[in-house]
Structure 1
Amino acid sequence: MSYAIIGFGKIGQALAKAFARNGIEVSVATTRDPESFASDAAAIGSTIIPKKLAEAVKADIVFLAVRFEAHPDVAKALPSWQGKTIIDVTNAYGVPPEELGGEPSSRVVAQAFTGASLVKGFNHLGAAVLAQDPAVHAGRRVVFLASDDDGAAAEIGALAENLGFSPIKLGGLSEGGLLVQARGNSWGQLIFKDLVKFD
């Protein structure tokens, strides 16, 4: 299984740190030349591989860690996303609901990535918290996942566990997904909730 993080701002780097902590290789890409962020990637760890966008999107599982407004540009990198799983880490805060046609923002993202399975996840924590080791007080930091594809949600749940997090599945995008999505100028009820699960 191959992984990529598209977007290498604070959230993208926080995700990369989770991969580095666990020695899992992940490609990172932006719309810029990989040389422009190679030193930042190297500072995180040797398993963080800077690539051109066209190369990174060949991965099986792609974290979309760009501004919500930038997702259509990333989607154009491939004619079809068939067989891939997109993890939507975007937040559509400030985007008027009418621009989304009344749909959850993740459903709008899913429509752009034709053929992919989409899981909303890893977006409810601020970058500074997401970057920390998720092992906290003998528990594990929670990440919420929502998807209309149960198989994809299970796959990303397993990845979240491998990265040290405790995944909690919230159901479909229109139900649980709304708890972790911004609508206009308001945040979903679970956004910024830093929870720890004890086994």
Structure 2
Amino acid sequence: MSYAIVGFGNIGKALAKAFARKGIEVSVATTRDPESFASDAAAIGPTIVPKKLAEAVKADIIFLAVRFDSHPDVAKALPTWQGKTIVDVTNAYGVPPEQLGGQPSSKFIAQAFSGGRLVKGFNHLVAAVLDQDPAVKGGRRVIFLASDDEGAAVQIGTLAENLGFAPIKLGGLSEGGLLVQARGNSWGRLIFKDLVKFD
């Protein structure tokens, strides 16, 4: 299984640190040349590999950690996303619901990544919290996941556990997904809730 993070702002770097903590190799890419962020990647660890976008999207699992309005640029990187799982880490705060055809932002994004399986996740925590070790006082930091594809949700749940998080599945994008999505100028009820699960 290969992994990539597209977007290398605060959230992208926080995700990269989660992979680095476990020694799992992950490609990182932006629309910029990889040389421009190679030193930032190296500072996180040797398993963080800067790549051109066209190379990074060859991965099996791709974390979409760009600004919401940048997702169409990423979607154009491949003619089809068949066989790939996209983890939507974006937040469409401030985007009018009518611009999304009244649907959840993840469903809107899923249309751009035709053929791919989409999971909403890793987006409800601010970067400064996501950046921290998910092991907290004997428990694990919770990551919420929502998807219309049960197999994809299970796959990303397993990855979240491998990264040290406690995944909690919320169901489909139109039900549980709304709890972790922005709608216009309001946030879903679980956004910013920093929860820890004790087994």
How does the TM-score come out when normalised to structure 1?
Answer: 1.00
1:32-70 deviations in Å (ceiling 9; x for gaps) = 000000000000000000000000000000000000000
Partner of 2:58 in structure 1?
A: 58
Would you say 1:19 and 2:19 are equivalent positions? Answer: yes
* Alpha-carbon distance between aligned partners in 1 of 2:185 and 2:40, rounded to the nearest angstrom: 32
Matched AA of 1:47: T
1:128-162 deviations in Å (ceiling 9; x for gaps) = 00010000010000000000000000000000000
Identity %: 85
The alpha-carbon deviation at position 106 of structure 1 amounts to 0.1
1:68-115 deviations in Å (ceiling 9; x for gaps) = 000000000000000000000000000000000000000000000010
SS of 1:145's equivalent in the other structure is strand
Deviant stretches of 4+, over 3 Å: none
* Alpha-carbon distance between aligned partners in 1 of 2:149 and 2:100, rounded to the nearest angstrom: 21
Query: What root-mean-square deviation, in Å, do the aligned CA atoms of Structure 1 and Structure 2 show?
Result: 0.2
Matched AA of 1:126: V
The alpha-carbon deviation at position 26 of structure 1 amounts to 0.1
Would you say 1:73 and 2:73 are equivalent positions? Answer: yes
Aligned residue pairs total 199
> What are the residue-to-residue correspondences of 1:1-199 with 2, within 5 Å?
1-199=1-199
* Alpha-carbon distance between aligned partners in 1 of 2:97 and 2:25, rounded to the nearest angstrom: 37
How does the TM-score come out when normalised to structure 2?
Answer: 1.00
The alpha-carbon deviation at position 24 of structure 1 amounts to 0.1
The alpha-carbon deviation at position 184 of structure 1 amounts to 0.3
SS of 2:161's equivalent in the other structure is helix
* Alpha-carbon distance between aligned partners in 2 of 1:144 and 1:45, rounded to the nearest angstrom: 26
* Alpha-carbon distance between aligned partners in 1 of 2:2 and 2:118, rounded to the nearest angstrom: 16
Matched AA of 2:10: K
The alpha-carbon deviation at position 120 of structure 1 amounts to 0.1
Matched AA of 2:103: E
* Alpha-carbon distance between aligned partners in 2 of 1:73 and 1:50, rounded to the nearest angstrom: 18
Stretches of structure 1 lacking an aligned partner (at least 5 in a row): none
